[in-house]
Structure 1
Amino acid sequence: MGTVTTRGLFITFEGGDGAGKSTQVALLTEYLRGRELEVLHTREPGGTDLGLALREVLLHSENEIVPRAEALIYAADRANNIATRVRPALERGAIVLQDRYLDSSVAYQGSGRDLGAEEIRDLSLWATEGLLPDVSVLLDIDPVSGRERVAAQRGGLDRLEAESRDFHERVRAKFLELAAAEPSRFLVVDASLAPEAIAELVQARVDAALAAREVGA
Structure 2
Amino acid sequence: MAHGRLITLEGGEGTGKSVQRDRLVDALRKAGLDVVATREPGGSPSAEAVRDLLLAHGGDWRPLSEALIHAAARSQHLAETVRPALATGRWVVSDRFSDSTRAYQGWGQGVPLETLDQLERMVVADGKPDLTLMLDVAPEVGLARAHGRGQAADRYETMDLAFHQRLRDGYRAIAAAEPERCVLIDAGGDVDSVAAAVRAAVRDRLGVPI
Structure 1 segment 9-158 matched on structure 2, within 5 A: 9-158=5-154
Structure 1 length as normaliser, TM-score? 0.91
Q: Tell me which of 175, 178, 197 is aligned to 2:174.
A: 178
How many residues get paired?
208
Contact 1:110–1:118 at 8 Å: present in 2 too? Answer: no
Shift of 1:61: 4.4
Cα deviation, 1:16-53, whole Å, max 9, x if unaligned, reads 10000011011111111112210001110011122222
Q: Matches of 1:155 and 1:63 in 2, distance apart?
A: 19
Q: Matches of 1:26 and 1:161 in 2, distance apart?
A: 22
Contact 1:12–1:97 at 8 Å: present in 2 too? Answer: yes
Shift of 1:129: 2.7
Residue ranges of structure 1 left out of the alignment (5+ in a row):
213-217
Runs of 4+ in 1 over 4 A off after TM superposition: none
Shift of 1:207: 2.3
- 1:215 alignment partner in structure 2: none
Contact 2:133–2:183 at 8 Å: present in 1 too? Answer: yes
Contact 1:78–1:124 at 8 Å: present in 2 too? Answer: no
Residue ranges of structure 2 left out of the alignment (5+ in a row):
none
Q: Matches of 1:67 and 1:210 in 2, distance apart?
A: 35
Q: Matches of 2:41 and 2:63 in 1, distance apart?
A: 16
Q: Secondary structure at the match of 2:170?
A: helix
- 2:187 alignment partner in structure 1: 191
- 1:165 alignment partner in structure 2: 161
Contact 2:8–2:129 at 8 Å: present in 1 too? Answer: yes
Q: Secondary structure at the match of 1:88?
A: helix
Q: Matches of 2:59 and 2:186 in 1, distance apart?
A: 35
Shift of 1:170: 0.9
Q: Secondary structure at the match of 1:13?
A: strand
- 2:197 alignment partner in structure 1: 201
- 1:210 alignment partner in structure 2: 206
Cα deviation, 1:114-149, whole Å, max 9, x if unaligned, reads 011232132023112331111100000111211111
Structure 1 vs Structure 2 CA RMSD:
1.5
**Matched residues, percent identical?**
38
Structure 2 length as normaliser, TM-score? 0.94
Which is higher, the Rg of structure 1 or of structure 2? 1
